[in-house]
Amino acid sequence: MQNFAESFRLAFDLLISLDADLLEIVGLSMQVSLAAMGFACAIGFPLGALVAVTRFPGRGAVIILMNALMGLPPVVVGLVVYLYLSRSGPLGWLGLLYSPTAMIIAQTILIAPIVAALSRQVLEDLHGEYDEQFRSLGLTRLQTIITLLQDARYSLLTVALAGFGRAIAEVGAVIIVGGNIDHLTRVMTTAIALETSKGDLALALALGIILLVIALSVNACVMGLRMTARRYAYA
């Protein structure tokens, strides 16, 4: 319990003092996770929409695969990305290993299936409601997908948030491809792992508390946005 009390005090002190190292770690965490979320949405939303509105042989298997990929083990993804980006790997010439870019790639691979699978479900439900009207209006498949993505925008925010939540809390993949290098690839989760291994549990817990505060803040913002949208019947 002493650790918890000390951790809260330390977290508070770190935040109040705007500790430069802490801000750097938090900044990189946000930068990497937001970028991964952006790329994952750019891949996952259209993919989810396409599967939602299209009927083709094997569609059920594709949906099962998309859902299964939501549970991709981060360390496996980290290992595969590591093998591709390592000097002897097929993409080794890019020199990306142990860089924030490598971390973004790994996190994108991890959360794109989450975004795709969840958005597929959201958009399929909406499509069921709109389908006859859209066909009556003569919308093409592309127009249908674009309109669905626009009209489901507030639900898709929640989907994006789920992806962000997975990314910001992820440690296995980023520590393998990022290496937890101070001032270069150290993010909150890898810093927590490091401080724990060094026995500085108070600092590790303080970082954990800050991570939770960030996650809560982002969730609260999106929830507020959704509630506003629902109030005006747009969601």
* Residues of this chain that bind other proteins (CB under 8 A): 129-130, 132-133, 135-139, 143, 147, 151, 232-235
Distance CA 49, CA 64 (A): 15
CB of 231 to other proteins, least distance (A): 9
Do residues 214 and 30 make contact, with C-beta atoms less than 8 angstroms apart? yes
Distance CA 103, CA 29 (A): 10
Q: In terms of CB distance, is 127 or 166 closer to other proteins?
A: 127
- Residue whose entry in the numeric block shows the structure tokens 């290993």: 97
CB atoms near residue 149 (< 10 Å)? 18
Q: In terms of CB distance, is 31 or 147 closer to other proteins?
A: 147
- Nearest in space to 219 (alpha carbons), one of 167, 149, 169, 157: 157
CB of 131 to other proteins, least distance (A): 9
CB atoms near residue 18 (< 10 Å)? 8
CB of 135 to other proteins, least distance (A): 6
Q: In terms of CB distance, is 143 or 217 closer to other proteins?
A: 143
CB of 38 to other proteins, least distance (A): 23
Copy the structure tokens of residue 218: 């982002």
Q: In terms of CB distance, is 52 or 109 closer to other proteins?
A: 52
